[in-house]
């Protein structure tokens, strides 16, 4: 790969997260470097999604420290992550069901729109100008993801694969510096997976976006990621480049044990 991987931009140290008695994450440390594709893998219930939720402030770990561009982050709320240019997609599609594709993706740019509700109500000042400017950006995303034909369709009428793509579009609309993807290819057929892989690689390549990816398809993971972290029962059991991880004894055991 020709791209340049940069410095560590996200550093998680000794993260532990509990839900009552359930230990979702235990003493996990790992980092993410600028411009890389970082995969998180592990059997079901390993704590992968929880990890993403910690990164963007949906869950608050009881222990551990998080550094973002060298600064320690405290009391993170999800909307603050958005302001820091971290976007994400969800394992179970979390689109805004009552809205069209266009509106869903427009919503992705909401932190960049400054007009207030009075300007909107009277349609003066920044309101109209912003709608147009951001529409242009959104159309670029729509072109990039090849979904021009469905832009006015309500998302709940779309097939699953396209919904996943729209959700990626909504995240991309924010022009994130870091993109968290929770199983973006789950439940897709081979062709849809290929498309999605292509989009992820293009995003990474063209925009330099750092990507943290959860995926069960080992072929895909080993193919596209630069480094892989492996979780099992909330513990980190492997971390490194795909080849390293593939031959790690603990990882092989965990996967065999979980019936994969």
Partner 1 sequence: MLYREAGQFKTTYAADQQIFPIRQDRIGIIALLVVAFIGVPLFASEYWFSAILIPFLIFALAAIGLNVLTGYAGQLSLGSAAFMAVGAYAAYNFQLRIEGIPILVSFVLAGLTAAGVGILFGLPSLRIKGFYLAVATLAAQFFIVWCLTKFPWLSNNSSSGVISTQKLIFFGHELTTPVEKYLLVLSVVVVLALAAKNMVRSSTGRAWMAVRDMDVAASVIGIKLMPTKLLAFAVSSFYCGVAGAMYAFCYLGSVEPDGFSLEMSFKILFMIIIGGVGSIMGSFLGAAFILLLPIFLDVALPFVADLFGLPFASATVSHIQITVFGALIMFFLIVEPHGLARLWQIAKEKLRLWPFPH
Ligand X SMILES: Nc1ncnc2c1ncn2[C@@H]1O[C@H](COP(=O)(O)OP(=O)(O)OP(=O)(O)O)[C@@H](O)[C@H]1O
How far are the Cα atoms of 15, 30, 235 from residue 27, in angstroms, in the given order? 5, 10, 7
Is the sign of the CA dihedral 112, 140, 90, 29 positive or negative?
negative
Which of 157/260 has CB closer to ligand X? Answer: 260
Out of partner 1, Mg ion, ligand X, none, what residue 90 binds, judged by CB under 5 to 8 A for its kind, is: partner 1
Closest distance to partner 1 from the beta carbon of 61 (Å):
17
Report how far residue 142's alpha carbon sits from residue 106's, in angstroms, rounded to the nearest whole number.
10
From 35, 48, 193, 236, residue interacting with ligand X (rule: CB under 6 A): 48
Tell the smallest beta-carbon distance from residue 38 to ligand X (Å).
15
Give every CB contact of residue 195 below 8 A, 6+ residues apart in sequence: 165
Residue 47 near ligand X by CB under 6 A: yes
Select the residue interacting with ligand X from 9, 50, 147, 178 (CB under 6 A).
50
Q: Which two tokens stand for residue 211?
A: 């990507």
Token reading at 25:
């994450």
Part in contact with ligand X (CB under 6 A); list of ranges 37-45, 122-130, 172-180, 191-199: 37-45
Strands, DSSP E only, in the chain?
Answer: 8-19, 22-33, 37-41, 63-68, 71-72, 86-89, 178-182, 210-214, 227-232, 235-240
Asked if 44 interacts with ligand X (CB under 6 A), we say yes
CA dihedral 8, 9, 13, 16 (to 10 degrees): -140
24 lies in the site for ligand X, by CB under 6 A: yes
**Cβ closer to Mg ion: 127 or 231?**
231
Return the range that interacts with ligand X (CB under 6 A); candidates 17-25, 93-101, 120-128, 145-153. 17-25
**Least Å from the CB of residue 50 to Mg ion:** 8
**Which residue in 4, 19, 190, 256 binds ligand X (CB under 6 A)?**
19
Which residues lie near ligand X (CB under 6 A)?
A: 19, 22, 24, 42, 44-50, 91
């Amino acid at each position: 790969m020709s791209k340049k991987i940069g410095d560590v931009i996200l550093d998680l140290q000794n993260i532990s997260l509990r839900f009552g008695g359930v230990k979702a994450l235990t003493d996990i440390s790992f980092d993410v470097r600028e411009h890389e594709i970082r995969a998180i893998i592990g059997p079901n219930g390993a704590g992968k999604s929880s990890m993403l939720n910690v990164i963007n402030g949906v869950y608050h770990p009881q222990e551990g420290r998080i550094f973002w561009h060298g600064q320690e982050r405290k009391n993170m709320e999800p909307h603050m992550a958005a302001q820091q240019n971290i976007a994400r997609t969800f394992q179970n599609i979390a689109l805004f069901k009552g809205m069209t594709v266009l509106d869903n993706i427009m919503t992705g740019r909401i932190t960049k729109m400054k007009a207030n509700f009075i300007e909107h109500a009277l349609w003066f000042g920044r309101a109209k100008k912003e709608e147009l400017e951001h529409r242009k950006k959104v159309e670029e995303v729509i072109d990039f993801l090849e979904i021009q034909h469905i832009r006015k369709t309500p998302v709940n009428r779309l097939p699953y694969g396209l919904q996943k793509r729209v959700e990626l579009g909504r995240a991309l609309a924010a022009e994130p510096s870091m993109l968290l993807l929770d199983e973006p290819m789950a439940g897709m057929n081979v062709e849809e997976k290929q498309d999605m892989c292509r989009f992820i690689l293009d995003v990474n390549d063209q925009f330099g976006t750092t990507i943290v990816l959860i995926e069960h398809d080992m072929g895909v993971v080993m193919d596209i990621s630069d480094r892989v972290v492996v979780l099992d029962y909330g513990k980190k059991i492997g971390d490194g480049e795909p080849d390293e991880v593939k031959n790690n004894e603990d990882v092989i055991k965990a996967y065999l044990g979980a019936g994969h």
